[in-house]
A and B are shown apart, each in its own frame.
Chain A
Amino acid sequence: MDMAGWLPALAEWLPRQRWYHGQAAPASVEIVDQEIRGDRFPVLARLLVDADGAVYQVVIGVRGRDEHPEFLRGHDQAFVADVSTHQGDAITYDAVYDPELAMVILDWVAPHEHAERARVMGAEQSNSSLVYDERIILKLFRRVQAGHNPEVEVTQALAAQGFTAVAAPLATRRVRDYDVAILQPFLAGAAEGWALALTSLRDLFGMNDTASIPIISADAPPPPPDPAQAGGDFSGEAARLGAMTGGMHVALADAFGRQPADTKSWAQGIAAQLDVLETSDVDRPAAHAILDGLVDLSEAGSAIRVHGDYHLGQVLRTDAGWYVLDFEGEPARSLEERRRPTSPLKDVAGMLRSFHYAASVARTERDEYLLEDLANAWETRNRDAFLRGYIKAAGAGGILPPTPEGFELLLAAFELEKAVYELGYERAYRPDWEHIPLAALRRLT
């Protein structure tokens, strides 16, 4: 099969994929690696292509043009092109949607595994996931980088440390110098932390709808609901989530080592991000006061390998408690940046910012701005619970600032950094949500 002949079509197709990072069609596409599996339709063509310097993994299915496969219905973006092959006219498409080829992909990654059926999970930003028999999940990395993919590296290391709240790899696959796939147990029955937090908030915001009012009096409105009294109280979950996070950091420190904290470069990094903000966004003197405090902090704990993109969407509640997913870090950053040790409080800040997002989003859903106090009460309660669980689990690991003041300061600095990053992101992609990081910046400075 003439895969080189497909490249012009692939150059057109790539920008339509969610995992493609460029803004426009690449000027040049070259094949880095290629393999054909199967000699009759459907055929799997596995490619690594270099598009303007970024390497992508592409899995292409090839079937006869008259087959009109059912699985492509509703997935227009999966279709690549009509092609001619020595077996006749054919179509090419993203092979992850083809249940038959999904088995070929599984066999390629893990020849010892067998499955009856496969389904593709919703689109993700840097990879594609196939679930087999609701039992195992195969993640194909789409944008690959030479070296070790953090997901493979970190989940293996955590599992080796005996850390159980992670789906330990069952198989991984490397092609040349790239990690291209990982197979893990599928966490059946799991729900995202984000969904649980919103469930709790919706319950809280709905409390007034159903609360019994012992004495009806227009003069004395019922007392405001208390998150501690709400049926959907999240604080138990938040505390357990904090404990899991603390355990994760200790295991990461044990696996990858503890480096000295580098508060100066952390402060410089945050200051550089602050510089690009508009004057009205943030109280600069107050922000710089935090950063000055950070530089002066003599005992700031350790720098360790961290999750890097930690929020409520990266944790799953299962029947066996909380699990953590997706150690790839922020996909926009370089591999080197993502693997660089930093303070574990960067992850903690990410999760706490996520609590604020959940409270803000749930409040906006109801479009009742009177709920602001209640949303804040929810956030405070669950933030405290999370930190309680976290410090209990991570406190003895030698990675945290030893004093409460140091802990608070370091946490504030990383929350500031996160909020600044969020503001840039929201301005670019979701202006409606701009008010969330802005509120955080006002609160922090």
Chain B
Amino acid sequence: MSGEADHRWYQRAVFYEVLVRGFFDSNHDGTGDLRGITERLDHIQWLGADCLWLLPFYQSPLRDGGYDISDFFSILPEYGDLADVVELVEECHRRGLRIIADLVMNHTSDQHPWFQESRQDRTNPKADWYVWSDDDTRYPDARIIFVDTERSNWAWDPVRQQYYWHRFFSHQPDLNYDNPEVQQAMLDVVRFWLDLGLDGFRLDAVPYLYERDGTNGENLTETHDFLKRLRKEIDATHPGTVMLAEANQWPADVVDYYGDGDECHMCFHFPLMPRMFMAVRREQRYPITEILAQTPEIPDGCQWGIFLRNHDELTLEMVTDDERDYMYNEYAKDPRMKRNIGIGRRLAPLVDNNRAVAELLHALLFSLPGSPVLYYGDEIGMGDNIYLGDRDGVRTPMQWTPDRNAGFSKADFAQLYLPPLMDPVYGYQAVNVEAEQRDPGSFLHWMQRVLHVRRQHGDLLGTGTLEVLSAENPSVFAFLRQLGDRIMLCVNNLSRFAQPVELQLARLAGKVPMELFGRVPFPPIGELPYLLTLGGHGFYWFELVDLQGNP
């Protein structure tokens, strides 16, 4: 593989999102740590993921899951130290895995020394590193993101006797990117971690870096200019690094974060996720095909990051009011599941623990354009605990074995950062890695097999074109993926009932659909509509190969 192509590894990769705190506790203190991840890389490698994505591991008062960083250059002591990071990175690379980490560009913790210095008075060297104001009325068009907890984007600081700007929690003041020193400081942070060996960053909350009067403070030109500058610097020093942007916006706006292929390498496709769930609930394809039709082309070398669940809530910011009501009705019958404007549930409870639906949703995730991102524990069908506060319900310990503390930690139970799930359906005695590895029919083994098949077609599925096929049956969602002369046909039944479909494939007459899990050839495509029948929530992945002569 040429060096150029290898720099685009992220277009073919399957990402695996790891909560450092929740994965594995190597030192028996009740909290997962970096060394614990290193010890459990076998699992991720066996599963078939290509790149780890670590949630924040920086020094932090942990008032927002570590997204409130109080020192960009050191590790939260419970997670380990810099040497542990180096060991983890090296071990990943030795196994051919890559590793990226969360980085928060927009703000810091109010405990960060930069803020502590900035708030002292209006003249200190860092006085201008945050956004200060004498009144709290500026930028009225900027919406409040955490509507459950925040009333304003301004907070009063009694020390400096001024308001400071915060797009998220009031304990997370926004950095002032108009100050060149702030820009340089953040570039230094990026450089530091890349020198340590990280393969890239998931950039948290990028749309909000700048504020301008008369705007809503999102997606400003200045923000894009800074990201382009960042891209240029890392391309020069660390080619092959990926910048994955979290910009919770409509696809037509998100594509701006790709620039002309000179800004972020990847962006999350947020609206696709709720649409996939909705399509299965409604048993019809339009929720998905509508959003795909509204998704613009992206520049060469760029890629969507797509996911079913992640550590945050199912994001409903991007659906219309009607659809939001609908999602609430369908997925969050218990009002406790509402968080901000989203729903905090894991995949398995979200689909009523229906294995066929979980398989169908993953089949969609792995075959639609984009690089899939898995969330730790979803590969074994872990549940959630909605009675834990904030977003902790989906951050419970990884369930490794049926033993004490789910095999996650040897600490006393009371010492655990969160209790593992113990209910009869999703508890660790029923759902754990060890048991599912022993059971060849388990969901875990199914995931491993489907990821293996996906890897064999990683180029095509990662970068191939998408063409949605017409089908009179609205429950069937069929599409072609094509790269050069290689073509895959994916057919999905969104209904829980068996369904037939006739596909107009005459232009591919002569090709044989080869089913990819068993390599079973199906009848060749002819001039007549191609008839397929699918079981409830069934799906097919075919490669269209040329007709072979009889043996």
Contact = CB atoms under 8 A, between A and B. Distances in A.
Task: Report whether chain A binds chain B.
Answer: yes
Interface stretch (A3-11, A55-63, A189-197, A266-274): A189-197
Interface in A114-169: 116-117, 119, 131, 134
A354 to B, nearest CB: 16
Contacts of B322: 236
Contacts of A280: none
Contacts of B470: 134, 188-190
A231 B281 contact: yes
Contacts of B474: 191, 195-196, 199, 317
A217 interface: no
B289 A319 contact: yes
B284 A206 contact: no
B83 interface: no
B283 A231 contact: yes
A134 B281 contact: no
Contacts of B507: 116-117
A185 interface: no
Contacts of B496: 203, 206, 210
A319 B293 contact: yes
Interface in A1-48: none
Contacts of B289: 189, 319
Nearest to A320: B293
Given A190-B470, A206-B497, A232-B283, A199 B475 contact: yes
B281 A232 contact: yes
Contacts of B469: 189
Given A119-B504, A134-B504, A233-B326, A203 B472 contact: no
B330 interface: yes
A279 interface: no
Interface in B289-332: 289-290, 292-293, 322-323, 326, 329-330
B468 interface: yes
A381 interface: no
Contacts, number: 75
Nearest to A231: B281
A119 B470 CA distance: 14
B497 A231 contact: no
Nearest to A131: B504
Given A134-B470, A191-B471, A192-B472, A231 B506 contact: no
Given A199-B495, A231-B281, A233-B326, A319 B286 contact: yes
A295 B473 CA distance: 44
B143 interface: no
Nearest to B476: A191
The CB with the most chain B CB atoms within 10 A, among A199, A212, A228, is that of: A199
B334 interface: no
B352 interface: yes
A137 to B, nearest CB: 12
B316 to A, nearest CB: 15
Interface string B11-25: 000000000000000
Nearest to A189: B470
A232 B278 CA distance: 9
The CB with the most chain B CB atoms within 10 A, among A117, A191, A236, is that of: A191
Interface string A96-119: 000000000000000000001101
A70 B527 CA distance: 10
A229 interface: yes
Interface in A190-228: 190-192, 195-196, 199-200, 202-203, 206, 210, 212, 228
B113 to A, nearest CB: 51
B329 A228 contact: yes
Interface in B336-356: 352
Contacts of A233: 282, 326
A167 to B, nearest CB: 14
A199 B326 contact: no
A195 B286 contact: no
Nearest to B294: A319
A195 B507 CA distance: 26
A87 B464 CA distance: 51
A203 B280 CA distance: 11
Nearest to B499: A199
A316 B454 CA distance: 35
Contacts of B495: 199, 202-203
Contacts of A210: 352, 496
A43 to B, nearest CB: 22
Interface string B272-286: 000000001111101
Contacts of A189: 289, 468-471
Contacts of B352: 210, 212
Contacts of A320: 290, 293
Nearest to B281: A231
Nearest to B354: A210
A321 B433 CA distance: 44
B286 A117 contact: no
B103 to A, nearest CB: 36
Contacts of A70: 527
Contacts of A199: 282-284, 474-475, 495
A317 B290 CA distance: 11
Contacts of B323: 236
The CB with the most chain A CB atoms within 10 A, among B282, B469, B475, is that of: B282
A134 B468 CA distance: 12
Nearest to B322: A236
B497 A317 contact: no
A233 B330 CA distance: 10
Nearest to A211: B352
Given A117-B506, A195-B474, A229 B468 contact: no
Given A189-B468, A191-B474, A229 B329 contact: yes
B404 to A, nearest CB: 30
A236 B290 CA distance: 15
Contacts of A196: 284, 474
Contacts of A195: 472-474
Nearest to B352: A212
Contacts of B471: 189, 191
A266 B469 CA distance: 45
A320 B286 CA distance: 9
A116 B472 CA distance: 22
Contacts of B280: 231
Contacts of B475: 199
Given A134-B504, A206-B497, A231-B282, A236 B326 contact: yes
A263 B44 CA distance: 74
Nearest to B353: A212
A117 B284 CA distance: 29
11 contacts: A71-B527, A117-B506, A196-B284, A202-B283, A202-B495, A203-B282, A206-B496, A206-B497, A210-B352, A212-B352, A228-B329
Given A191-B473, A195-B472, A196-B284, 9 more contacts: A119-B504, A190-B470, A199-B282, A199-B284, A202-B283, A203-B282, A232-B282, A317-B286, A320-B293
Enumerate the 5 nearest inter-chain pairs by beta-carbon distance, A residue then B residue, closest first. Answer: A231-B281, A191-B474, A319-B293, A319-B289, A188-B470
Interface of A: 70-71, 116-117, 119, 131, 134, 188-192, 195-196, 199-200, 202-203, 206, 210, 212, 228-229, 231-233, 236, 317, 319-320
